[in-house]
Every structure is written in structure tokens, then in C-alpha cells.
Amino acid sequence: MATAKAEEDDAVAGTNLLERHKKPVCLIVLGMAGSGKTTFVQQLTSRLHARNKPPYVINLDPACREVPYPVNIDIRDTVNYKEVMKQYSLGPNGGIVTSLNLFATKFDQVIKLVEKRSANTDLAIFDTPGQIEVFTWSASGTIITETLAALFPTVVVYVIDVVRSVSPVTFMSNMLYACSILYKLRLPFIIVMNKIDVVKHDYALEWMTDFDSFELALSSDSSYNANLSRSLSLTLDEFYKDLTTVGFSAVTGEGFDEFLAAVDAAVVEYETDYCPEHDRLQKLQAEARSKDKTRQKDKFESDFQETSRKLGVTTGRYVSQSNEILLRSHLSTVNKMFARLSSSLMLRGANLTSE
């Protein structure tokens, strides 16, 4: 019997899996300013076009001057970033956050458009603003990420500039940022070590697997930052272990096939790790909501009985007809008082306006 139930569950899970696979995989491209996110999206897009598998591309950076790839949805068509700054008297970062918040209110339309393309698109790519915290720590960033992850297989692609990360302290701060995003979003995560046409990423891989080599790189530095990086590298050991990293050049396209293979593996991880956890949390939330509803209903009933007792009305679960009439008359008195009060307030309001 238990086996039959397990088989049934497997079949249901299997259908979900297949259904989910019919949808495009969403890649959210994040990374520090200038790490090469936009160039990476451009390279990916042009190679996928060349393979007759055009992706659906969405630009979420309201402040970029131009988008160097064929874009399907551009935030700049919906929100004018400069106008937002002017209207709300904001600086550049505040302008980007507010523009993204305004755009997030229309995100259901983006979802509909991506869903429409499900039949003939394998990848939906989201390019994000350079001010990474604007996306990762804002309400709209969370709304966008969680909505996508609930509906599509979603993978976070974190772009690192390997040229700028040759300093172990900079490398460590970049990795800490990646780590914080991974633990916040809890989605499959790929680190793209970009710009390998300039500097190979071998040094970074070595630092991630061999603590001694990282220690050696820091040996000439005795600053507070270096000591902190040293201790942190031991802590990040666990994080490094399960991390998928791909060397890439957004200029030459080197690493493209490895990247696609990493995306495939990440989708499997999404199905096997993220979805069951997401479903479990959804179930817990639904249970909590239903408990809360029952608690509110009980409280309402007890308050109602208490009020009725004070008003001299006897109530049970079923209110007798005469008591109901009495209660209605109480309510109508309260309503009349309320109407009188609000009309006098309106008059006062009118007087204030005319003043």
C-alpha cells in the first residue's frame, strides 16, 4: 500500500517536473558594477541566436545608456529613470531603486510575456543594474526573484571580474558578496569568472581549493583586511565546496559550452533541491494562514459575545430572532451616530479648504 502511495507521489512529482521543464529557464545575471554583466548577456544572446535558439532578454537596468543586445523587454520603456530622480528628488541609487520598484508593480505582465514564449524559448535572461545591492537587498529585487523562482526554473548567475579580483582582499570581498546572495536567495548559483581573455581564472580556483595558496598570496600583507580575509577563507570553505564556477570571456565567448552545461546541472538542482523546499515552505505557510484564520474567527466570536453581553443581548452560536432585531437596532443607532459624525467632519474639512 505504502509502495503504491509512493509510486503515486512519484508520478505527481514527475508530472510537475515535466511541466516545469516546458518553461524557459530564467537566468538572473548579477555582479559588481563593471564586472561585465551586460557584455556577458550580449555574448550569450548572440551565440544562442547563432544556434537558432534565441533567448528572451529582459533589461532591468533603468540607468544604462544603451543595451547592446536585441532586447525583448526593457525597463527603460516603462520607467524614465531621470524623471523619477527629478520627481522624487532622489540621487542616482534612490532613482534606480524607485524605478525598479515601479517596474515590479508591472511584473505580472513580464511573467505573462515570458510564459507566452514557453513553447519556443529555452532561456529568459535578466540583466540587472550595476549597483548590485539595489537588486539583491530591495523589496522589488526580492519580489522579482521569488516570483520567477516560483514559476520557472531559475538560476542566479554571479559575474566576477577576474582581472580586478587578483588582489586576495578584493577576491574575498567579492566572494563574501556572492555567499550572502546565495544564502539569501537559496537558488541554484553559478559563478562566472569573467574576462579570462585578459587573466586566466586558475589563480581563483586554486585559492578556493587550497587554503595555503590563499594564505601565501596574503603573506606580504599584514593589514586588518588581510587578517580578516585569512580567517574568512577558512569559514568560506563550506561555501566553496558546492559552488559551480565557470571561466568565461564575454568578449571572445570562451567558456560558452561549459556555461550551458552548468545551467543544465543547475536546473536539475532547482528541480531536486529548490522545488521540494519551496513546496514544503508553501505548505507550512498555508497551514500557518489557516491557523491564523481560525484564531481570528475564535477571537471575533468571543469579542462578539462579550460586546453583546455588555449591550444586554444574549447570544449563543445562534442568535434568536428577537435578539437579532435588538442587535440590528443597536447597529443602526451606531450607524446614524457615525453618519452624523462624518458629515460634521466633512463640513469641517470643507471649511478648512475654503479657509
Ligand X SMILES: Nc1nc2c(ncn2[C@@H]2O[C@H](COP(=O)(O)OP(=O)(O)OP(=O)(O)O)[C@@H](O)[C@H]2O)c(=O)[nH]1
- Residues in contact with Mg ion by the rule CB under 5 A: 37-38
304 burial via Cβ count (<10 Å: 0-12, 13-18, 19+): middle
Q: How far is the CB of 139 from Mg ion (least distance, A)?
A: 22
Give the β-pairing of 56-59 and 123-127: parallel
For residue 129, give the nearest of 73, 192, 61 by alpha carbon.
61
Q: Which does 243 bind (CB under 5 to 8 A by kind): ligand X, Mg ion, none?
A: none
Q: Site mask, ligand X, residues 195-234, x = CB under 6 A?
A: x-xx------------------------------------
Distance between CA atoms of 217 and 110, rounded to whole angstroms?
A: 46
Distance between CA atoms of 296 and 279, rounded to whole angstroms?
A: 26
Q: Which does 36 bind (CB under 5 to 8 A by kind): Mg ion, ligand X, none?
A: ligand X
Which residues ranging from 262 to 321 are in contact with ligand X (CB under 6 A)?
none
Does position 36 interact with ligand X (CB under 6 A)? The reply is: yes
Does position 250 interact with ligand X (CB under 6 A)? The reply is: yes
**In 239-338, which ranges are E strands?**
244-248
Does position 75 interact with ligand X (CB under 6 A)? The reply is: no
Does position 72 interact with ligand X (CB under 6 A)? The reply is: no
Which residues ranging from 121 to 140 are in contact with ligand X (CB under 6 A)?
130
Does position 39 interact with ligand X (CB under 6 A)? The reply is: yes
Number of residues that bind ligand X (CB under 6 A): 18
> Which segments of 210-274 does DSSP mark as H helices, in order?
211-218, 224-235, 237-241, 256-269
Distance between CA atoms of 86 and 108, rounded to whole angstroms?
A: 27
- Give the Cβ contact number of residue 255 at 10 Å: 21
Q: How far is the CB of 34 from ligand X (least distance, A)?
A: 5
- Kindly list the residues in this chain that would bind ligand X in the complex (CB under 6 A): 31, 33-39, 61, 64, 130, 194-195, 197-198, 249-251
